[in-house]
Structure 1
Amino acid sequence: MLGIIFRSGGSLALLWQVGFCSSVEIDSGVWAMLRWRTPLRYAAVFLLVLAFGVHWGSVRRGCEPVGRTITRVPVGAVLLTHGSGALILALELGADRYCWTTLDKLGFLRGVRAFLIADVALVLAALCALAAVRVPRHRLRRLTRSRRFKRAAVGAAASGLLCFLPVADLGSGPVTGRDACGTVEPLTLRGALSFLCNARSSFPTMPDHHLLAYGRKQCAAYPNIHVDVSLIVPICPAAARQWDREIAAEEAEIERRDAVNQAACDRSGHQPLITPVGVARDRLWSEIGLAAFEDHELTSDEVPALHHDLVGSTPGHLVIGTGAEAQICLTAETYRRRPPVEVKFWDKVVEIGYESPTGDFVIMDPMSGPGTVPNLAFLGKGHYRVRVHYREPLWERDLPQHILVMVFPGASERVITHKR
């Protein structure tokens, strides 16, 4: 037996990982018990050696019954920890079909062997130890036929039935998948289907009836719940009312901020010093700045370099740098001749050349697409000059930033910085 014990020592490096299928939910109480498996696994060889020593010493001193009883404790711990690997693997394969996919990727037999090979030697050693300290057959027969043993067995069976009755309804059931949700909007609709579709991201394999029972239990405890309130909104009227109030308050705040920003854009509207061909205004958000790309979308090698972090261009492409933390009041003006330079009230003013290969020059937020600003290439394809003015937002009042774009004919490619 010792030979088996010490030969298995090298296998301790490959430990069974409980719950290798990430989609299987394990109860917190089960995890609390499973935490003891790790220290017991590292101590398995020591426990078997200890059992061997105790049994050997008890035989030498003539206390074989006591040694037999004491030996079974560490051997049982080893058998419990190392024998549970196969049980957990079987439970996970039965609970989640994705576990089969995981093992198939390794090759099924190879995957099972990879997860269980570390347990084989120690389980065999523990079984050998139990066989070595087994009770003689005639004593075992006398024990099982005794009245005391029969009474204890009947009591244990009755207790076991009572313990398992509360979980007798925990059989598997149908699981509503994402394909059944379709276009359901879980947080705007109400009902069981909306709840299941909303909760599937957190509980992908829990049967529907268990998940609904869990949601209704959380609803009964609302507001003292341990999950995000959005999870139970579809089936909990109290949570839905609070959710709707919060959404309405957020929308009202957004509308108020939009009104304040629009008023700020209207107050600071630019007054042209000469008559423009056209004037367009828009108010928008952008996380990556403004851009115009005529013939195809920009690639990383074609993004123009910004001059003074404000504006850059290549044929068919123009980029304007803006801040992502504030809205943008955008004004675009087109002229038939060069307009006067204006730097007062502006933080930066840069003028560059731009070539329009298609005559479709539209400045927009690249992520949301064209807004209300029309085509600025009013003379069709050709060369233009673009003068960009920038004014930073009033951060203390949370007001928007301002961009004024002047477009007029010109063949020069020179970059002119009117104000840094």
Structure 2
Amino acid sequence: MPKRSLILWAAAILTAATPSICFWITEMLFGPEGDGGGIWASFGFCAGREADFALNRILGPLRDFPLLWFGSVPLIVLAWGGVVLSERAGHPGLGRILGRSAAAVMIVSHLPSPLLFVLDMSAGAGCADSWEPLELTGWGIAMDLYHLVPAVLVLLAVRTPGLSRRGALARTAIAVSLVIVMLLTAGADAARGRVSDESALDCAGFGNGTVSGLDEDEKGFLCGIRDDSFGRGVPQLANMPDRELLAYGRHLCDLAVRNGGDAYAPAVSEAMGEVDSHPLVGALERSCPKVAEVQKERGWQKQAEIDAYYAAAERNCAAHPRHRPRIKPVRQVRETMWTEFWDIHAWDEENEGDEVDGRVADLVGSGPGALRIWAADEIGHACVTGESYRRRPPVETRGWEQVVEVGYQSGDGVLSIVDGEGERLPDLAAGGPGNYRVRVHVRGRKAVTENIESPDGTVQLMIMVFPGKEKRSRIYRDYPSS
């Protein structure tokens, strides 16, 4: 090996090792430095910063490989040894390939960040500020440039004497130009601020799926933001460019992870600002595994609480004594029924959803093909007994707070009481289409009205349905009972 090459190889090793040597000496003289780490959050989209973030995710495993430790000294030594062995074996060309490959690895590891930082600097101060504070960014860029020096020395060491420098320089310039053009093209494409719609993202599984360059987690987050069906999605963010929106999502994910995956932690809520947090957290679940894990656990806990709540209401209703009719009904059924808006209902098929104006004694009201019965003080479960008769049953008022009877006309011959969750009592219209009387009994209303802490299932309703042409309403016992 020529003396010139030996000097260049030695210079490359020394140059690469110098920062680590200086660090060791400083640590021995002054002790280890404190943890200077911190949190740096930035908003807005800058092509260089985004590309650098993506490249760091790809290059991270490469930089952690032991051959690149200590400024790539092990890699340089290995390449040097390969050159020596290949020359002794009579294959110097193989050695040059090894040396250039080692230099290429160092260039790929250290060149992109300086180029991308310059790209953002040219875009304005806002993009320059999107990187870490200047003193940290400047130091990092300076070290990246410094570590390119050993790569250049390795390239010079394996350069074949006598070959045209002009040709080698031209090839190098072309390669570097291509890298710069690709980076600038990618930056320019991203800088256009693409806003991919649901079809392009193939959110529902039957779109055109034209978006490329995004993984499934990223597509999932964008779909969660831009899904405008059934009140989902986040309209305030839907028009943000893809990359800007993804950067925002990563920022929220990082904040949530620092708070144990809690997407509703104060720091995360503050970053969300005025945006509706519920659909935004739903979108975040699709791209941030830790948030998804915590939300799933919360879902299980919430479902367990709901199940326990419903089970308690069922137990309370089951504990109430059954009604003993004075005459035999055609049908007697019991059900625990839920309402979120005071009432349970019955409708003819063609009148379903029609509102009934008012309730007699604020308990039961009827209209053409529609029935409305009070069941809770706004929200809760009622224990409902339904009885169907072919003739008028005796009036019972003992033990009931209110007893009210109204007329009802059934056009389709079906009277089925339905609650707020769609649960129904079986048909109580024993005579098919025609005129009926509906007599409603209630107790427990006073308790739930006066005490919001009353157990769910305190309200008991008994609904008697029997044929009758009378239109006038009757109040057999008014509330409060006397």
- Report the TM range for the smaller structure's normalisation: 0.5 to 0.7
Q: Report if the CA contact (8 A) 1:326-1:398 is conserved.
A: no
Q: Describe the shift of the 1:249–1:368 C-alpha distance in structure 2 as closer, same or farther (beyond 3 A).
A: closer
Unaligned runs of 5+ in 1: 1-26, 29-156, 185-189
How far did residue 159 of structure 1 move? 12
How far did residue 368 of structure 1 move? 5.1
Counterpart in the other structure of 1:175: 195
Residues 1:412 and 2:412 aligned together = no
Counterpart in the other structure of 2:244: 210
TM-score normalized with structure 2 length: 0.48
Report the count of equivalent residues.
Answer: 258
SS at match of 2:249: helix
Q: Describe the shift of the 1:218–1:314 C-alpha distance in structure 2 as closer, same or farther (beyond 3 A).
A: closer
SS at match of 1:376: coil
Counterpart in the other structure of 2:347: 293
Residues 1:262 and 2:314 aligned together = yes
Counterpart in the other structure of 1:198: 224
What value does the CA root-mean-square deviation take over the aligned residues?
A: 3.2
Q: Where has structure 1 moved over 6 Å in runs of 4 or more? A: 157-160
AA partner of residue 219 (structure 1): C
Q: Describe the shift of the 1:279–1:208 C-alpha distance in structure 2 as closer, same or farther (beyond 3 A).
A: same
How far did residue 332 of structure 1 move? 0.8
Residues 1:276 and 2:329 aligned together = yes
How far did residue 269 of structure 1 move? 4.7
Q: Report if the CA contact (8 A) 2:340-2:380 is conserved.
A: no
SS at match of 1:355: strand
Counterpart in the other structure of 1:354: 408
Question: % of aligned pairs identical?
Answer: 33
Q: Report if the CA contact (8 A) 1:353-1:413 is conserved.
A: yes
SS at match of 2:194: coil
SS at match of 2:453: helix
Q: Distance in 2 between matches of 1:158 and 1:254?
A: 54
Residues 1:241 and 2:241 aligned together = no
Counterpart in the other structure of 2:77: none
Q: Describe the shift of the 1:237–1:351 C-alpha distance in structure 2 as closer, same or farther (beyond 3 A).
A: same
Q: Describe the shift of the 1:251–1:347 C-alpha distance in structure 2 as closer, same or farther (beyond 3 A).
A: same
SS at match of 1:360: coil
Q: Report if the CA contact (8 A) 2:223-2:283 is conserved.
A: no
Q: Report if the CA contact (8 A) 1:349-1:387 is conserved.
A: yes
Describe the superposition over 1:17-43 as per-residue Cα deviations: whole angstroms up to 9, x where unpaired: xxxxxxxxxx79xxxxxxxxxxxxxxx
How far did residue 231 of structure 1 move? 4.5
Q: Describe the shift of the 1:315–1:297 C-alpha distance in structure 2 as closer, same or farther (beyond 3 A).
A: closer
Q: Describe the shift of the 1:171–1:368 C-alpha distance in structure 2 as closer, same or farther (beyond 3 A).
A: same
SS at match of 1:181: coil
Q: Describe the shift of the 1:269–1:373 C-alpha distance in structure 2 as closer, same or farther (beyond 3 A).
A: farther
Counterpart in the other structure of 2:460: 402
Q: Distance in 1 between matches of 2:120 and 2:381?
A: 69
Describe the superposition over 1:147-183 as per-residue Cα deviations: whole angstroms up to 9, x where unpaired: xxxxxxxxxx999649557478460243232344227
Q: Report if the CA contact (8 A) 2:347-2:371 is conserved.
A: yes
Counterpart in the other structure of 2:427: 375
Describe the superposition over 1:330-388 as per-residue Cα deviations: whole angstroms up to 9, x where unpaired: 221112333333333322110122232331222224x655x331221111122222110
Q: Describe the shift of the 1:348–1:259 C-alpha distance in structure 2 as closer, same or farther (beyond 3 A).
A: same
Q: Describe the shift of the 1:351–1:216 C-alpha distance in structure 2 as closer, same or farther (beyond 3 A).
A: same
Counterpart in the other structure of 2:162: none
Q: Distance in 2 between matches of 1:267 and 1:214?
A: 54
Q: Report if the CA contact (8 A) 1:290-1:322 is conserved.
A: yes
Counterpart in the other structure of 2:181: none
SS at match of 2:300: helix
Q: Describe the shift of the 1:158–1:406 C-alpha distance in structure 2 as closer, same or farther (beyond 3 A).
A: closer
TM-score normalized with structure 1 length: 0.54
Q: Describe the shift of the 1:411–1:254 C-alpha distance in structure 2 as closer, same or farther (beyond 3 A).
A: same
Q: Report if the CA contact (8 A) 1:352-1:414 is conserved.
A: yes
Counterpart in the other structure of 2:356: 303
SS at match of 1:327: strand
Q: Distance in 2 between matches of 1:396 and 1:356?
A: 38
Q: Distance in 2 between matches of 1:308 and 1:162?
A: 73
SS at match of 2:324: coil
